[in-house]
Chains A and B, each alone.
Chain A
Amino acid sequence: MDDKLIFEKSSNSRIAYDFAEYEHKYALSDKYQRKEELLFPEVSELDVVRHFTNLSKKNFGVDEGFYPLGSCTMKYNPKINEELAGLRQFNNVHPLQDEKTVQGCLEIYYNTSKLLEEITGMAKFSFAPCAGAHGELTGLMVMKKYFEERGEFNRKKVIVPVSAHGTNPASAAVCGFEIAVCNCVSDGCVDVEMLKGMLDENVAGIMLTNPSTLGIFEKDILTISKLVHKNGSLMYYDGANLNAVLGYVKTIDMGFDIMHINLHKTFSTPHGGGGPGSGPVGVREDLVKYLPNPIVEKKNDKYHFVYSKKSIGKVSTFYGNFNVVIKAYAYILSLGKEHISDVSRLAVLNANYIKESLKDEYILPIDRHCKHEVVFDGIKDHKVSTLDIAKRLLDYGYHPPTIYFPLLFHETLMIEPTENESKETLDGFINVMKKIAHEDIEVLKTAPHTTIVRRLDDVKAARFPKVKYRDLL
């Protein structure tokens, strides 16, 4: 197996590009010129293609196998969406062209917002945020702006449940809020009694995802939103788990005022190894004026950018990850009203099927109907760690579930199968999970055995950081 860096394949004077001949008529003053030598590879075009093709073989994607990574909604990324987003008329337009010449782009933004408005009940979406955490931050800025406008500068606190994604408290901190952590009761739902005690005149809002990160629907959601609103605070919905209730519950009906959606989770755009994503933020009617500038409106069959004087301002260089939005738009149109609710229904069916099938071998801390994902607390008797199980799954050709999150249990295994997986695929996975439960402990502790590299030394990587090619010379 080829395991060299491209820098190690370099040979003097090879090239992988060509430009037409040109004249060096103008020269930059010496004082502005770079002096240090550039250590870049010198390779041929085929060298480049082979290098990356071989690198790709060291990865694992949704297209090749089951990827039940909890909280990440690793659903199928339809090929038609890629084709449509790749159209040259979308790729070759400059973001600062006149509105008249980019009506197609504006229409995509406008139409996608309309669809998301119908799905969630929010009044308008901004596509400026480039990822989920970026959406959280933007939504929290809207929240803060709302209280600033009302002169309620005392509202400096945001409540986050202990089970929340790490981005929630981190986003609140970047937005300049103080964080107050609310506990969960034994079924993973918010401790409403504790919440009551936390609500006071300093609370701006609460960030929740529903179902929670334990995959359990927050049954007291209407009570919670009433309490929060009565306190004059706002409800923020983290759309990370929207797939569980897509086409089943409208976010606004649960009492949420602000939300973000991860288009790269719920709306099938590819994760790309960690982005580009898109984290549109939607708000209720009276908060639309605070959304990032600009938003797109339609007038006399023409699309326009609209700038609000009350807006929080800009949060990205231009208008967000436009190309990703095209893919989500195509996906929603393909689903249509006929299939949208089957997304959540089948995702929930799949998760519950795994839950029932594995609860003899794995510890099920919350034995209730789950939603789109199920959480186990490791293997019965804890004979090996969750890490060992995850690593052993690699030998069987599966991407492991999310491990050690949420933090409520010691050996968390969080499985999210998505609606795209067939019963045969789930049965295959269930059989392997059962088999692992009875395997020799030594085999599990030393897994994986068949991958191109085996367990890697994280401590060494952190103690002596080598983070670029020059560090190896």
Chain B
Amino acid sequence: MQYKYFPHTEKDIKEMLSVIGVNTIDDLFSDIDDSLKEKDFNLPSSMDEISLRKHIFEIAKKNKELNIFRGAGSYNVYVPSIIKPILERQEFLTSYTPYQAEISQGTLQYIFEYQSYICELTGMDVSNASMYDGASASFESIMMACNHTRKKDVIIADTINPNYLEVIKTYSHFHGYNLKFAKSKDYILDTKDVLAKIDENVACVICQYPNFYGYLEDYDFVAKLKERKILFILIGAPSNYAYIKSPRELGADIACGDCQMMGINMSFGGPYIGYISCVNELLRKLPGRIVGLTEDVDGKRGFVLTLQAREQHIRREKATSNICSNESLMALNVCIYCACMGKKGMYEVSDIRFQNAHILHDELLKHGFKDVNKNEFFNEFVLEYKGDLNKISKQLEKQGYLSGLIIDKNKMLFCATEMNSIEDIKSFAKMFEMKEAL
């Protein structure tokens, strides 16, 4: 039984069994029906470290790294070099949820700092310690709004991320909420349709800012919502709010979404980190963990998990959510990123994304693309093309590019970030001209 992760010697086992008063380890399993004891597991043989490394290297090589011009919920962003070594510190990586506050001040303080950053960016009063991802955070926000208003109808803009929409539909079906979809025209929400759908059963309106297609929408219905005590939920990436108006400035009651843009690798979709922040009035409806400041018996400042009476381990089926483990280490990732970027860098990185996207937009217009509307956008936008986008996408992939996402047979959703240099952008745009000629 010698194996690197097991410290037990034959002598240890013998001594331990004698203290317990049994002859074999199997005696400790005598309460299990013999018919249940599986004799043979058809698993591969144990792999030594050298072979394991080789095996997984071989698998990794089957992936292709591309020059990325696609976003749609996952973004190729700059990850500062200091993030990885800090995330790998065992004190952060190998610890559990900070239930024992006296030896978890490290985790508790970074969650407090994370909450501070999220509140600062969104303009909200309170944030929790994180959610799984943007999609689940969006549904949990809806659940908060429905619990608060004791209503079950939700108006949802059809310009939000379609993956989020799918998740919201799944959860709503099982939980029993009614979704009413507000229409859009040319990838912009039709706010008149939102107003038309308002009635006494509506708990909240949920939109994405900038919307899934990158456009900045005008929410002229907010005053009407306040008047009727309908909550307004805005989905978005917090880093953008250093640059564009924050959810608070737009009149939102709950801000939610994903923080992946804040220095987190794309990693084929996860782990990312969802967030929820809200106005004070909704504090006790927040799901998950919240860290608060307090003092110890000597009057020294310290942090604890607080307002736990909302949570599943206390309230069980009456909890605000079933969430337990969240994405704590990713919250640390966000904290390191925010500290690194600071006040100036948070604005600058958004400005670079904005500038690069606009350069890309103008370059593509020179190579056979047309605008679909005249709205302002942030770092994603939709263009129409006369050629076969499917074919061109495949060609571009062979040249090492991940082009925009095809969202309709002749329309593509593009994205630029700080990772795309101007030279890259120009040569990428030129590719369309070449392919068109083919």
Contact = CB atoms under 8 A, between A and B. Distances in A.
A92 B129 CA distance: 26
Contacts of B135: 314, 316-317
Given A369-B30, A453-B296, 7 more contacts: A84-B60, A93-B266, A118-B43, A271-B94, A315-B170, A317-B73, A369-B31
Contacts of B304: 456, 458, 461
Contact of B8 (A253, A275, A317, A349): A349
B37 interface: yes
Interface string A380-402: 00000000001100100001100
17 contacts: A25-B355, A57-B91, A61-B92, A83-B53, A89-B63, A93-B268, A136-B322, A253-B38, A314-B163, A316-B167, A323-B268, A326-B56, A330-B56, A448-B102, A454-B298, A465-B306, A469-B120
Contacts of A58: 91, 103-106, 109
A15 B329 CA distance: 24
A384 to B, nearest CB: 16
A90 B60 contact: yes
Q: Which of B12, B29, B129, B176 gathers the greatest number of chain A CB atoms within 10 Å?
A: B29
A451 interface: yes
Contacts of B5: 76, 78, 334-335, 339, 419-420
B91 A60 contact: yes
Interface in A29-54: 29, 32-36, 38-43, 45, 47-49, 51-53
A197 interface: no
B53 A84 contact: yes
Given A423-B16, A467-B126, A108 B59 contact: yes
A146 B161 CA distance: 28
Contacts of B66: 94, 97, 101
B130 to A, nearest CB: 7
Given A248-B37, A342-B1, A454 B102 contact: yes
Interface string A309-343: 00011111111111110100110111111111110
A247 interface: yes
Contacts, number: 650
B141 interface: no
Given A25-B355, A59-B105, A74-B96, A52 B336 contact: yes
Given A89-B61, A276-B329, A368-B31, A105 B46 contact: no
A456 B302 contact: yes
A419 B125 CA distance: 44
Interface in B390-417: 394, 397, 402, 405
B164 interface: yes
Interface stretch (B193-201, B226-234, B313-321): B313-321
A97 B7 CA distance: 44
Interface in A195-235: 216-217, 219, 221-222
A94 B70 contact: yes
A130 B270 contact: yes
Residue among A250, A350, A462 with the highest chain B CB neighbour number at 10 A: A462
A166 B97 CA distance: 15
A467 B318 CA distance: 24
A91 B269 CA distance: 9
B226 to A, nearest CB: 19
Nearest to B302: A453
Given A40-B343, A277-B325, A316-B136, A452 B94 contact: no
Contacts of B61: 89, 104
Interface string A94-111: 111110111111011000
Contacts of A326: 56
Given A7-B116, A78-B5, A276-B327, A316 B270 contact: yes
A137 to B, nearest CB: 6
B421 to A, nearest CB: 8
A335 B3 CA distance: 9
Interface string B251-276: 00000001000000111111110000
Contact of B31 (A74, A219, A452): A219
Contact of A33 (B43, B243, B312): B243
B191 interface: no
B312 A273 contact: no
Contacts of A103: 62-63
A467 B163 contact: no
Interface in B261-298: 265-272, 283, 289-298
A170 B306 contact: no
Nearest to B209: A32
Most buried by B among A28, A69, A172: A28
A83 to B, nearest CB: 8
B52 to A, nearest CB: 6
Nearest to B60: A89
B343 A174 contact: no
Contact of B323 (A133, A400, A446): A133
Contacts of A446: 297
> A-B pairs with the 3 shortest C-beta distances?
A318-B269, A336-B46, A272-B329
B374 interface: no
Given A43-B339, A101-B397, A469 B116 contact: yes
B437 interface: no
B428 interface: no
A272 B92 contact: yes
Interface residues of A, number: 197
Contacts of B225: none
A269 B321 CA distance: 24
A232 to B, nearest CB: 20
Contact of B7 (A6, A134, A340, A421): A421
Interface stretch (B81-89, B363-371, B381-389): B81-89
Contacts of A80: 49, 52-53
Nearest to B165: A314
B90 interface: yes
Contacts of A26: 354-355, 358-359
Given A28-B376, A55-B106, A321 B271 contact: yes
Interface string B161-183: 10110110111011110000000
A87 B174 contact: no
A456 B244 CA distance: 39
B235 to A, nearest CB: 11
B94 A353 contact: no
B59 A141 contact: no
Contact of B41 (A39, A247, A422): A247
A274 B289 contact: yes
Nearest to A74: B96
Contacts of B30: 369
Contacts of A3: 300-301
Given A28-B354, A89-B65, A275-B330, A336 B45 contact: yes
Given A24-B351, A275-B328, A48 B82 contact: yes
Contacts of B119: 467-468, 470
A341 B103 CA distance: 33
B62 A41 contact: no
A42 B336 CA distance: 13
Interface in A4-27: 5-7, 10, 13-17, 19, 22-26
